[in-house]
Copies of this chain bind each other. A is one copy, B any other.
Amino acid sequence: MSFKLTKDFLESVNEAIEQRNFAWFKQNVFDLHDADVAAIIDELDEDEAAYLYGLLNENMQADVLIELDEDTRDAILGTFSTKEFAEQLENLDSDDAADILSELPKEQIEEIISHIQDNDAAEDIVDLLNYDEDTAGGLMQKEFIQAKIDWPVNRCVIELRRQAEEVEKVYTIYVVDDANKLVGFLSLKRLLFASPLTKIRDLFQDKNVISVKTSDDNEYVAKIMEKYDLVSVPVIDLQGKLVGRITIDDVVDVIIEEAEKDLQMASGISEKIESSSSIWKMSRARMPWLLIGLLGGILGAQVISGFEADIMIVPQLAFFIPLITAMGGNVGVQSSAIVVQSLARGDDQFGSIFKKLAKESLVALVNGIVLSLIVYGFAYIFDNAILGLVVSISLFTVIMFAAVFGTLIPLILDRYKIDPALATGPFITTLNDVLGLFIYFTIGILMYGL
């Protein structure tokens, strides 16, 4: 039932743009969902994108603008005068307008805002620009529906009709007292089925009123909305006054972005990037982790060089260097991933560190025994029983150490308020590499009697 953008369709779009074929767009594009129109425009060159965007009516432009990729949006907005830019913003929800503005230089922001005709809208946007973009204040919109606690249902419906014109999606009506403090909420369903003269006071729900503060961070907002299964959450200021609301679609974007960031961090990419980012930005984002890896490799070389004489006598020891380092890294990353996720979810908040450590150690014990037995056989084949013993005992020891470090490091980072996700990347791998090499060669010279 949903539109699927194909290569053929894109070709037709290009053709129609070339021929300035308005009728074709009327028939094939204007009735599509805004998200689909945005997806089409995202695939066009700058000039063509601006042309197609220009064909849309005002409402559609606003809806499409906010769905576009940042690059495409910037390109289109770049073709506008300050006045036209301001007009575009007026048709957007306040939070979307503020998001777009916040990426511009300060002078340009001021100039654009001075061109916004609707004073209330301008004020809302200026207000939103004050909040950090990673907080509830930066995520909220000023468009929401509120009812005073003393209104009867019929007055409420009239007032709401007025308010609702500028609020695209209405899920819940927030109920405030005379001082504008949030005191509860009312679902549209209840309002719809209530008799006209009932007072809101007798209808609204004041139990379990979940709200967030403007200063709460994005991830906290996402956690609250997920925990309480909310589609929108009211935002209050320090005095408890209702100042905005956050809707679930914006929070879904936060959740997906956070997940992508976590996955990138676990993969050793330290800056949020997309496959469309510039080569320079992509290189820069990867460099920190590669440098840590390089440093680890150099430290590893330092460790091995301490055993140079031993390697000349028993070169077979060198065979299993990659096995020891790889396994230490893998086990460490596995343990830390579990700990990081349980920290992120807020699970086991009352489980002690020792309980986690004991569990990870037991898992490592089971895996360590199985893997050491397997590797003993292979190392035996490569050389002899001594090498078999050296490799299997080292592997077991390295697995145990890696599990302990993989568990402890994210817990310690978390305690010191450092994002524990840092620990799932090359950091833990590097530490385990160096330690593992030292363990391996020490056991080697002991067993070979070097």
**A residues with CB within 8 A of B:** 1-2, 5, 7, 10, 31-33, 35, 43, 157, 160-161, 164, 169-171, 187-189, 191-193, 207-213, 224-231, 236, 248-249, 251-253, 255-256, 259-260, 262-264, 266-269, 273-276, 279-280, 282-283, 286-287, 289-291, 293-294, 296-298, 300-301, 304-305, 308, 311-312, 315-316, 318-327, 329-331, 333-334, 336-339, 341-342, 347-351, 356, 359, 362-363, 366-367, 370-371, 374-375, 378-379, 382, 424, 426, 429-430, 433, 437
The contact sample of 30 A-B pairs, CB cut-off 8 A, is A1-B210, A1-B236, A31-B207, A33-B210, A160-B192, A164-B193, A188-B192, A226-B249, A226-B256, A230-B249, A231-B249, A255-B259, A259-B263, A263-B263, A263-B266, A263-B424, A267-B336, A268-B334, A280-B366, A282-B338, A282-B363, A289-B330, A291-B371, A294-B327, A296-B322, A297-B326, A304-B319, A311-B311, A326-B430, A329-B429
Please determine whether A320 and B297 come into contact, CB atoms closer than 8 angstroms. Answer: yes
Is the beta-carbon distance between B337 and A279 smaller than 8 angstroms? no
Q: How far is the CB of A27 from chain B (nearest CB, A)?
A: 14
A322 near B334 with CB under 8 A, answer no
Chain B residues, CB < 8 A from A437: 322
Residue of B nearest to A231 (CB): B231
Looking at the assembled complex, report how far the CB atom of A411 sits from the nearest CB atom of chain B, in whole angstroms: 12
Report yes or no: A189 in contact with B208, Cβ–Cβ below 8 A: no
Query: Is the pair A212, B157 in contact by a Cβ cutoff of 8 Å?
Result: no
Are A356 and B323 in contact (CB-based, < 8 A)?
no
B274 pairs with A347, CB closer than 8 A? yes
Please pick, from B208, B308, B319, the residue contacting A305 in the complex, using a CB distance under 8 A: B319
Q: Tell me the nearest residue of chain B to A1, going by C-beta.
A: B211
Report the separation of the CA atoms of residues A404 and B289 in the bound assembly, to the nearest whole angstrom: 19
Q: Give the distance in Å from the alpha carbon of A300 to the alpha carbon of B382 in the complex.
A: 12
> Assuming A263-B262, A287-B367, is B275 touching A347 (CB within 8 A)?
yes
Give the number of times this chain occurs in the complex, counting copies.
2
Specify which of A157, A189, A300, A324 lies most central, judged by the most chain B CB atoms within 10 Å of its CB: A189
A188 contacts which of B188, B264, B267, B324 (Cβ < 8 Å)?
B188
Q: Which residues of B contact A326 (CB under 8 A)?
A: 293, 296-297, 300, 325, 329, 426, 429-430, 433
Asked if A337 and B289 make an inter-chain contact with CB atoms under 8 angstroms apart, the answer reads no
How long is the Cα–Cα vector from A170 to B10 in the complex, in angstroms?
A: 38
Residue on B with the closest CB to A207? Answer: B31
A429 and B263 CA atoms in complex are apart in Å by: 16
- What's the dominant secondary structure at chain A's contact region? helix
Q: Closest CB-CB distance, A67 to chain B, in whole Å?
A: 8
Contact in complex: B294, A305 (CB < 8 Å): no
The CA-CA distance from A366 to B290 in the complex, in Å, is 12
Whether A264 and B2, one on each chain, are in contact in the complex, defined by CB atoms closer than 8 angstroms, is no
Contact partner of A327 among B267, B293, B315, B370, CB < 8 A? Answer: B293
Contact present for A290 and B367 (CB under 8 Å): yes
Extra A-B contacts (12), CB below 8 Å, given A263-B266, A274-B342:
A1-B210, A32-B208, A33-B210, A226-B249, A256-B259, A275-B339, A297-B320, A297-B326, A311-B318, A312-B315, A326-B430, A329-B329
A424 neighbours in B (Cβ, 8 Å): 263, 267
Are A290 and B327 within 8 A (Cβ)? yes
